[in-house]
Amino acid sequence: MARVLIVGAGPAGAGLALALARRGQGQVELVEASPEALGRFRGEGLMPSGLEALARLEAWPLPAAVPHRRLSGWSFQLEGRPLFQVDEPFGAGPACHLIDQPSLLQHLLSKAEGAGCRLHLGQAVVGLVRERDRVSGVELADGRRLEADLVVACDGRSSTLRRLAGLPLEEEAEPLRVLWFRLSGPAAEAIAANLAGRFVTVIGSGDSWALFASTRGGLQLGWLEGGAGVAPVPPTTPAAWRERWAAVAPPVLGSRLRQLADGDVEGPLRLTVKVGLAPCWHAPGLLLLGDAAHPLSPLRAQGLNMALRDAVVAGEYLGPALATADASANATAAALDAAAAAVTAARLPELRAVQADQRREAQRAELLRSQGWLRALLRALAPWAGPVIARRWVREQDRLRHGLPLA
């Protein structure tokens, strides 16, 4: 029986494990370095494109054990004043959702395991095993080797397997530096009630941050560090952070932020976010998926969604190749390599499109963040300019919400 080994239990790996295991063809195994896929920071934004992928995996609707809720809208604040607000859902399709990603991954993994996938949790892959010029398995940190007809690297933005396979990544010039906070306590709960389910972006003099009520309770706040023309120096104490956020926030939000106690501000967690795209996702015996193939910017919540869509498409192409159970080893290898090449060809257009859209949004935010005259102008004209900008923003969100039609 042909054997597929998936490395990494993020959304790409857990999604692919489920996509392949539920077909019942071939032997599917997954290796994950963490003892459980819960510990790390993970984003919560789920676009209609991700909902579509979950539906294709027969994993949507989700059980109550996976905390999730509809987003009620997007709100953009400029120098303490509303610029525009858009309610969800807009355009065709369902509303964006927020989801507790660790619970989602646990759910996908237990469904995959129930369908026959073998899990190796708490095992890090440290090497690729090769037979002639083909990847034929992996080496684990404890020295054991696992054989496979195809290794699928879903090991995230700093992919060890991508490096070991020598598959190049075209990186964007500067990594993004994001400082991530979790806010809790009575003031945070009051802010969450006031947000009423909206995702809020605040842009002020040299500062830009985003805020939403987490599905785990409390708030999550992401603050962008650095950027062209401005180099905001991050504060070092909770009191200085509160003041910094409040200085560019609308008055009500600002005064509530000032009421946060020191112990209510957890973080920052510093994330250096490398962004890029591998032009080729496959080598004989190996396929890259998710952030390993295309580390995405956190802007407009794409990474989880694109990783799930990679998994769906890879399942569609790899499934039939795995079904050639009685074929010779060479024929199986050829079928899997052809399928891996087809997955790359099917996925690259969508990834190129959403990365282009993310760049456009990032450039606009950067322009606003760095140009005081533009902020002052838009702030003064907000009651008239806001609705015009909102209409244009809505038009431009289509690919970021829905992606391109899935293969």
Ligand X SMILES: Cc1cc2nc3c(=O)[nH]c(=O)nc-3n(C[C@H](O)[C@H](O)[C@H](O)COP(=O)(O)OP(=O)(O)OC[C@H]3O[C@@H](n4cnc5c(N)ncnc54)[C@H](O)[C@@H]3O)c2cc1C
Q: In the complex, which residues of this chain contact ligand X (CB under 6 A)?
A: 7-13, 31-34, 37, 42-45, 124-125, 154-156, 160, 178, 180, 222, 271, 273, 290-292, 296, 298, 301-305, 307
Q: How far is the CB of 239 from ligand X (least distance, A)?
A: 24
Kindly tell me which of 221 and 336 has the beta carbon lying closer to ligand X.
221
**Sheet bearing 265-273, strands edge to edge:** 81-87, 73-78, 198-204, 207-213, 219-225, 176-183, 265-273
Q: How far is the CB of 171 from ligand X (least distance, A)?
A: 15
Kindly tell me which of 291 and 337 has the beta carbon lying closer to ligand X.
291
Q: How far is the CB of 141 from ligand X (least distance, A)?
A: 8
Q: How far is the CB of 293 from ligand X (least distance, A)?
A: 8
Kindly tell me which of 249 and 292 has the beta carbon lying closer to ligand X.
292
- Name the DSSP letter for residue 143: S
Kindly tell me which of 8 and 276 has the beta carbon lying closer to ligand X.
8
Q: How far is the CB of 307 from ligand X (least distance, A)?
A: 4
Going 146 to 150 to 156 to 161, the CA torsion angle's sign is positive
Kindly tell me which of 307 and 314 has the beta carbon lying closer to ligand X.
307
Maximum alpha-carbon separation in the chain: 71
Q: How far is the CB of 159 from ligand X (least distance, A)?
A: 7
Phi, psi (deg, nearest 5) at residue 304: -60, -45
Kindly tell me which of 35 and 186 has the beta carbon lying closer to ligand X.
35
Kindly tell me which of 95 and 273 has the beta carbon lying closer to ligand X.
273
For the chain, the residue count is 407
List of residues 6+ apart from 91 with CB closer than 8 A: 394, 397, 398, 401
In angstroms, the CA 133 to CA 149 distance is: 13
SS3 382: helix
Rg of the chain in Å (alpha carbons): 22
Q: Which amino acid is at 204?
A: G
In angstroms, the CA 250 to CA 198 distance is: 15
**DSSP string for 315-379:** HHHHHHHHT-TTS-HHHHHHHHHHHHHHHHHHHHHHHHHHHHHHHHHHHHHHHHHH-HHHHHHHH
Q: How far is the CB of 297 from ligand X (least distance, A)?
A: 8
Kindly tell me which of 34 and 371 has the beta carbon lying closer to ligand X.
34
Query: What would the 3-class secondary structure string for 54-91 be?
Result: HHHCCCCCCCCCCCEEECCEEEEEECCEEEEEEECCCC
Q: How far is the CB of 267 from ligand X (least distance, A)?
A: 11
The four Cα atoms 249, 255, 259, 263 give a dihedral, to 10 degrees, of 0
